[in-house]
Structure 1
Amino acid sequence: MSDFRSGFVAIVGRPNTGKSTLINALVGSKIAITSPHPNTTRHAIRGIVNNPDYQAILVDTPGIHKPKTLLGYRLNAVVNESLDSVDIVMMCLPADETSGAGDEFLAAEIAKYSRAKKFALVTKTDLVSKKNLATRLLGISSLAKGFTWDEIVPISAAIHEQIDLLEKLIGDNLPVGPAFYPTDVKSDQKIETLICELIREAALRDAREELPHSIMVTIDEMAEREEKGSRPFYDIHATIHVERDSQTGILLGHQGERLKDIGMRARKDIERELGARIFLGLHVKVSKEWQRDPKLLERLGFTER
């Protein structure tokens, strides 16, 4: 079709503003993990929205934040890299918060990308009254310094409110062009990366404040069993890395009950995403100060940019 549209869409915002929940709602599958803890996303994950009229490649960036570790600096580099050459930048602004220096900084960064269309998405609208939402919407325009928002859209990804409208607006603002991926593909993530992220999401649930930033997951081995059946069966062995000895006990729990619970939750999610049965073996390892160690970061996939 000559009028088919395609392009790249960056989703940005401060930590914990609903970016990952939004990308999952748009793609219709669990591409990015979610958590109440800030900076859950650590990679620029590409989710792919396939529509009869367009294909949008969504880049879910880590939340912009003031870095305190080498990992933090590399996460911010991911954001800047993701904004290069995109067709639309969508900034998430929670309806139940007010904008401050963080949002002003990010809006100023967005202004540098003159060719990209700019959407302000007021997220989590299900958490506020209509009156408070109206007040929040009025304040969004003032964030745009040196540019004008192309769209200001209130949404709730959690209850799928106005997501259909947002999809239409994305399609209308993409340039004419061919599909970049086959129409049955929802992400360009390696399956091993998705498995690691689903395990990390299970480990983050109910985690103490100091623990979330210290958790990283790697796969040690993944193999398919030669078994007959309607679904494939995989044996997966993975390591949950923490930074300090004391954190090992937190993850293990009393007599290993917490680790067992993490494994059960992760296995259910992985089986759903793979459409397969799995055996999941987990163990915990202390990789001291991995967030500050360049060699460990390289090994864990956070290459220098």
Structure 2
Amino acid sequence: MSEETMIEPTAPSDFRCGFVAIVGRPNVGKSTLMNQLIGQKISITSKKAQTTRHRVTGIYTSETAQFVFVDTPGFQTKYRNALNQAMNRSVTTTLADVNVILFVIEAGRFGAADQEVLKLLPKQTPVVLVINKVDEITDKATLLPFLSSMAQQRDFAAIVPISAQKAQKLDVLMQAVEPMLPQSVPFYEEDQITDRNERFLAAEIIREKIFRLMGDELPYAMTVEIEKFVEEETKDGRELRHIHAAVLVDRDSQKAILIGKNGEKLKRIASEARQDMEKLFEAKVFLEVWVKVKSGWADDTRLVRQFGYE
């Protein structure tokens, strides 16, 4: 899974290829949707809002088209520190550079935060309204009036109810998007699923485990920095990764919570992250994780940029 540059292969004259942004307020299922669309987990998920902090690209290639999906952070309107400002810039920058936008909302719910995101969407770009979590609607009779009310919000290119979690109606969504992509040769190799390198994915996997295992104890001002990433080959020809990762928190009290009694919590985070890395990288992984205190980093524009939040 290398950081390859775009290629210029031959393709049928009717082949389509383009960029598709996945946007929405926090926690509507954007990352789950992208993972399901490309058939591989590369964007981290949890029930906590603001899990996705980076712009992550996922690539799916069929016989007739290549979809380059861009999973964006949930647009943040509540907090205005340097970290959230960087994430919001990531969203607006992405919107200016794509061919199609998937605007994701939850079935039966369209609030002020959703309206804020809708206002950001450029008028000249086709927008597909993706109504997620329809499987959670117990009274299906309420869905049709909700669809009708949403159709009044904007001239959407299409409206597609889905369940990302259960992979329902995703084929319908892909069929709706494909004609909106420009005719073009593919930008990436057929088997490439992301333009992010393994170093980035390793940090994201660790972050996901922290989000999932910390629950309400999770410090918001937390990030993961990969300090060492070495690829080797064993004597019997197997691939091997040596990865050293530092989890950065804002205060000493957060460090203690993250490590846990006798280090048990951090051990579990590292163990589960290592298992996911070995599955994704298809290689043996030796992973070391420790916790460092770096006070005020989320309010420091320089550090926010250093950790890749641009």
Using the size of structure 1 for normalisation, the TM-score is 0.93
Match of residue 268 from structure 1: 275
Aligned equivalent of 1:5, options 10, 13, 16: 16
Offset, 1:264:
1.0
Aligned length, in residue pairs: 297
Over aligned residues, Cα RMSD in angstroms? 1.4
Aligned equivalent of 1:143, options 146, 153, 163: 153
Q: Could you tell me whether the CA contact under 8 Å between 2:57 and 2:195 is conserved in 1? A: yes
1:102 aligns with 2:113: yes
Match of residue 292 from structure 1: 299
The amino acid across from 1:291 in the alignment is A
1:131 aligns with 2:141: yes
The range that moved more, 253-262 or 132-141, is 132-141
Per-residue CA distance 1:15-74 (angstroms, 9 max, x = gap): 001000000001111111001111111111111111110011111111112132111111
Q: Distance in 1 between matches of 2:24 and 2:161?
A: 15
Q: Distance in 1 between matches of 2:215 and 2:15?
A: 47
1:64 aligns with 2:97: no
Secondary structure, aligned partner of 2:214? coil
Are the structure 2 counterparts of residues 3 and 243 from structure 1 closer, same or farther at C-alpha, using a change threshold of 3 Å?
same
Higher relative contact order (CA 8 A, sep 6+): 2
Q: Distance in 2 between matches of 1:125 and 1:214?
A: 33
Gaps in structure 1 of 5+ consecutive residues: none
The amino acid across from 1:142 in the alignment is Q
The amino acid across from 1:152 in the alignment is I
Using the size of structure 2 for normalisation, the TM-score is 0.92
Q: Distance in 1 between matches of 2:197 and 2:65?
A: 23
Aligned equivalent of 2:55, options 44, 55, 74: 44
Q: Could you tell me whether the CA contact under 8 Å between 2:219 and 2:249 is conserved in 1? A: no
Per-residue CA distance 1:3-26 (angstroms, 9 max, x = gap): 000111111000001000000001
Give the percent of matched residue pairs that are identical in Structure 1 and Structure 2: 38
- Deviant stretches of 4+, over 6 Å: none
The amino acid across from 2:174 in the alignment is E
Are the structure 2 counterparts of residues 51 and 215 from structure 1 closer, same or farther at C-alpha, using a change threshold of 3 Å?
same
Offset, 1:226:
4.0
Match of residue 198 from structure 2: 191
Match of residue 4 from structure 2: none
Per-residue CA distance 1:126-179 (angstroms, 9 max, x = gap): 2112223334323211322xxx01110001111110011111222122111110
Match of residue 164 from structure 1: 171
Match of residue 209 from structure 2: 202
Offset, 1:230:
5.3
Gaps in structure 2 of 5+ consecutive residues: 1-11
